[in-house]
Structure 1
Amino acid sequence: MSKTAESVWNNCLAFIEDNITSQAYKTWFEPIKAAKLTDNALSIQVPSKFFYEWLEEHYVKILKVALTKELGTNAKLVYIIRMENTYGNKQPFTEKIPSANRSNLQSQDVDVPLKNKSPELKNPFVIPGIRNVKIESQLNPNYNFESFLEGESNRLARSAGLAVANKPGGTSFNPLLIFGGVGLGKTHLGHAIGVDIKDKYPEKTVLYISAEKFTQQYIESVKKNNRNDFIHFYQIIDVLIVDDIQLLSGKAGTQDVFFHIFNHLHQNGKQVILTSDKAPVDMIDIEQRLLSRFKWGLSAELNHPDYDTRVAIIKNKLYRDGVEMPDDIVEFLANNIKTNIRELEGAIISLIAHSSFNKKEITIELARKIVDNYVKHTKREVSIDYIQKVVSDYFQMDVDTLQSKTRKRHIVQARQLAMFFAKKFTKASLASIGSQIGQRDHATVLHACKTVDNLSSTDKQFRKYVEDLSKKLTL
């Protein structure tokens, strides 16, 4: 029985499938088609030049073994690259270009269309009909390190960001995951790292994108049947910054494609920077294989800014806007707006606007009015320390007792209630809550929250505890 290109390639595929992961096989070998068999030369058709280069770089050894088994030691492998948009020409005019013979499969050739020797990059950021392969970074130059003031609440994340900006892909902070509540500067820091890298390494391709936009682009690529082009585009990025990565939750297809992009970038020494409103351990409906990769580098939390940092933020904002404000008003704002930086800056803008439009001097009275009007529409957060004090006072014990290792029932319940309300009223991660309430882990906090929920529905007295404490904490 004479061999055909299909039978030879199918036998090769059977061998390859047994020796690599199913996902790698699906991604890199299923799209390949057998084209022709001439003597000992098997021609295979691949979707793009990138595809061919990836196979040569990562799977050349297994291809050599598989093909030698089928065609003997004189086996040759020819790649035929088929571009899209050949307008119905099944066989566009081609020329043979010898490759570097990296696989030692004798003289290896690549067929490429003569008029387009390198495939045009499909850039998902380009408006259809406009030719432009340049990748814009999508960075905001106003979000830089100079305007991202350092304080106790952000020192680790900011220092790690500077280290990454100095040596992208060359530190152990890869990926760098920045997480924290709303308005604490995650997006600002992500942009700042990208802006700094562009300044120091102008030749590097840096791209900022929100997880939501990434998902939209992926869906569009599936509709247009160019998923591989979408993957290839992101795999050429040197520094990829993805904002709000938790929004991939529940999106299996987008997670799968991001998994392949992440692997390629990481394996090739490219830098990945992610932001999230929660720590990896608290993310829901994200595949375990992705979560494990998020933990490969550094997860740095942004906390609520302390008083000194809030004062510095206000003064920096005023300086940048060229506005002067008495110190007592700066202190008033710093003392009364503690939730997040975005809220703080919003109040400053409102105060300056009211003063300017109404031609009024900035006074404590005006500041109080603005703060009251501004904050009343904003969900206020209480601190974990405050929650522990309120719960301890309610049960007539001190905070040290609440945090102790004792297993006495009433103390355990008080501790569980503190954890429950910390999760309810703050943006802190489970790990952070546990750490602050007696050095417990995130699993203990999760168990405490479930216990409180269960007891609230079955125990009348316990339900009263929850109602009383809830009122005290929301006054």
Structure 2
Amino acid sequence: MQGEGEAVRNLEEEAKTRPLDAAWDQIRVNLRRDCGARAFDGWLKPAELGSFDADAGELEIAMPSQFMADWVKSHFGDRLQLAWTSMLPIVKSVKIIASAEAPKPSPLLVLEDTPPAAQAANAASAGGKRDPSAPNFDLRYRFETFVVGKANEVAATAAQTLANAERVSFNPLFIHGGTGRGKTHLLHAIGQAFLEANPSAKVVSMSAEKFMVEFVRALRENDTIGFKHRLRSADLLLIDDVQFIAGKDSTQEEFFHTMNEIITAGRRLVITSDRAPQDLDGIAPRILSRLSWGLVADINPADYELRLNIINAKLDALPGVEMPEDVVEFLARRITNSIRELEGALNRIAAYAMMTGRDIDVPFVEEVLANVLRANQRRISVDEIQTQVAEHFRIRKAEMTSARRSRDIARPRQVAMYLSKQLTPKSLPDIGRRFGGRDHTTVIHAVKQIERLRAADAELDADIRLLQRQLEG
């Protein structure tokens, strides 16, 4: 059996005879053959070799953008890993990054995902080695990339104040809201901004679940003093998803004392949750009372305008993606569950468009996002449509089913039929019956008439867009 030293020497010799560049050339040829020319040219061709850590056996593959890096990691990561380990065994792992993440030569080890202003301080404090407690903030989650609207304005303003102000009048900051609304984004943004303003500060960021796991480990290893010191000495402590310590009495006891220590010492504390403090079940009353002492800021569901702004902001970060205005408006109207889902939908549309070469239009989006759109669909009734249209055009709702044919009545009725066809799953005969027992051909005529008028009459088109937003929002 080969000794460890001999095995290492063999790997080094293999590395010399089959260098990274030669292996990469062959891997690219194989990938183009196995994945097909279109997929390879669209996604893998732009990939370039990054740095190689010989000690860890980790090789970086750099992509032109974060979007492409995420997509390749998700769809080709395992294939690339297998290709490299098979071709060159000294490569033990493959890390796919965006080009901007590529490390620059430095005598110090740059801390991944840590703001530049904090990298030197953290590296220096660790003697050139990575501090295992240093937070790994996502560089995409910064205040500059957080789109602000009425739904999140208070939370965003409070987060920036806590991160940047020399003194704050509230502590802790408690941010709550449903899944995918931007709580974690703000948490990372606070951490990065605070470190950039205070390079030598100590920041600790963890989920409540990790807090619990590390506390239990500290108890088991008789290292509670070390655990307490690490958290309570932080200049900024960030705790995500505090609802996960519900019912964990010993963890809550430690959490309460940690909160007290941080706040009493004048250090900063930020906590997120999916619910307001008064709605958290299984959390000790004294913790809830402490949480309420500071500023409680909620993030509400994004309204249509905010969703529209978020889509446009994300499109700016997707170069080469041409998305018509009507598609942007369609997505803003139809995907309402969460911002995270909206961002995922944009990435999926861009990826499928690039892979298939098709133009992005509403039918294409409906095809690509069929499941997502179904999950987001709010059941709108014909009755709701009739009520909304009647109010908008200032006619009595009873006119929707009357026999009157004057233009000031017929046109709103046609608009209501058109919207019923667009926004409900009802059949044409069913829609006709709900408009005073009219024939399905009348509904067809109304739909075609409104489609024609929308193209020629900007005012009517604006009216219908407004009605759609009101009904879907």
Alpha carbons of structure 1 residues 299 and 355: separation in structure 2 relative to 1, 3 Å: same
Corresponding position of 2:342: 344
Report the AA paired with residue 155 of structure 2: A
Distance in 2 (alpha carbons) for counterparts of 1:379 and 1:335: 10
Corresponding position of 2:283: 286
Q: Which runs of 5+ in 2 are unaligned?
A: 1-127, 388-473
Conservation of the 8 A alpha-carbon contact between 1:149 and 1:309: yes
Alpha carbons of structure 1 residues 131 and 310: separation in structure 2 relative to 1, 3 Å: closer
Distance in 1 (alpha carbons) for counterparts of 2:376 and 2:243: 22
Q: What is the CA distance between 1:240 and its match in structure 2?
A: 0.6
Q: Please, which of 249, 254, 270 is the counterpart of residue 257 of structure 1?
A: 254
2:270 is the counterpart of 1:273: yes
Distance in 2 (alpha carbons) for counterparts of 1:308 and 1:379: 17
Conservation of the 8 A alpha-carbon contact between 1:339 and 1:380: no
Q: Please, which of 228, 236, 245 is the counterpart of residue 225 of structure 2?
A: 228
Alpha carbons of structure 1 residues 222 and 150: separation in structure 2 relative to 1, 3 Å: same
Q: Please, which of 185, 197, 206 is the counterpart of residue 182 of structure 2?
A: 185
- SS of the aligned residue for 2:282 comes to coil
Distance in 1 (alpha carbons) for counterparts of 2:154 and 2:360: 36
Aligned pairs for 1:12-51 within 5 A: none
- SS of the aligned residue for 2:169 comes to coil
2:241 is the counterpart of 1:206: no
Conservation of the 8 A alpha-carbon contact between 2:204 and 2:231: no
Distance in 2 (alpha carbons) for counterparts of 1:300 and 1:232: 29
Corresponding position of 2:362: 364
- SS of the aligned residue for 1:351 comes to helix
- SS of the aligned residue for 1:146 comes to helix
Corresponding position of 1:152: 150
Report the AA paired with residue 217 of structure 1: E
- Please provide the CA RMSD for this pair: 2.4
Conservation of the 8 A alpha-carbon contact between 1:138 and 1:207: no
Q: Deviations over 1:348-375 (max 9, x none)?
A: 1111111111111111101122332223
Alpha carbons of structure 1 residues 216 and 263: separation in structure 2 relative to 1, 3 Å: same
Corresponding position of 2:301: 304
- SS of the aligned residue for 1:207 comes to strand
Corresponding position of 1:243: 240
Q: What is the CA distance between 1:132 and its match in structure 2?
A: 5.9
Report the AA paired with residue 159 of structure 1: T
Distance in 2 (alpha carbons) for counterparts of 1:344 and 1:264: 39
Aligned pairs for 1:368-387 within 5 A: 368-376=366-374, 378=375
Report the AA paired with residue 331 of structure 1: E
Distance in 1 (alpha carbons) for counterparts of 2:139 and 2:228: 27
Q: What is the CA distance between 1:379 and its match in structure 2?
A: 6.4
Report the AA paired with residue 204 of structure 2: L
Distance in 2 (alpha carbons) for counterparts of 1:276 and 1:365: 38
Corresponding position of 2:325: 327
Q: Deviations over 1:55-103 (max 9, x none)?
A: xxxxxxxxxxxxxxxxxxxxxxxxxxxxxxxxxxxxxxxxxxxxxxxxx
Conservation of the 8 A alpha-carbon contact between 1:307 and 1:335: yes
Conservation of the 8 A alpha-carbon contact between 2:322 and 2:360: no
Distance in 2 (alpha carbons) for counterparts of 1:131 and 1:353: 38
Q: Which runs of 5+ in 1 are unaligned?
A: 1-129, 394-475
Q: What is the CA distance between 1:165 and its match in structure 2?
A: 1.1
Q: Deviations over 1:273-295 (max 9, x none)?
A: 00000000000010111111101
Distance in 2 (alpha carbons) for counterparts of 1:280 and 1:154: 18
Q: Please, which of 354, 358, 371 is the counterpart of residue 352 of structure 2?
A: 354
Aligned pairs for 1:45-194 within 5 A: 135-167=133-165, 170-194=167-191
Distance in 2 (alpha carbons) for counterparts of 1:335 and 1:379: 10
Q: What is the CA distance between 1:380 and its match in structure 2?
A: 6.0
Choose between structure 1 and 2: higher helix proportion: 2
Distance in 2 (alpha carbons) for counterparts of 1:138 and 1:260: 25
Aligned pairs for 1:393-472 within 5 A: none
Q: What is the CA distance between 1:146 and its match in structure 2?
A: 1.0
Q: What is the CA distance between 1:307 and its match in structure 2?
A: 1.2
Q: What is the CA distance between 1:131 and its match in structure 2?
A: 7.7
Of residues 252-261 and 132-141 in structure 1, the stretch that sits farther from structure 2 once superposed is: 132-141
Q: What is the CA distance between 1:225 and its match in structure 2?
A: 1.3
Corresponding position of 1:41: none
Corresponding position of 1:408: none
Q: Deviations over 1:100-131 (max 9, x none)?
A: xxxxxxxxxxxxxxxxxxxxxxxxxxxxxx98
Corresponding position of 2:466: none
Distance in 2 (alpha carbons) for counterparts of 1:143 and 1:373: 27
Sequence identity (%): 38
Conservation of the 8 A alpha-carbon contact between 2:202 and 2:235: yes
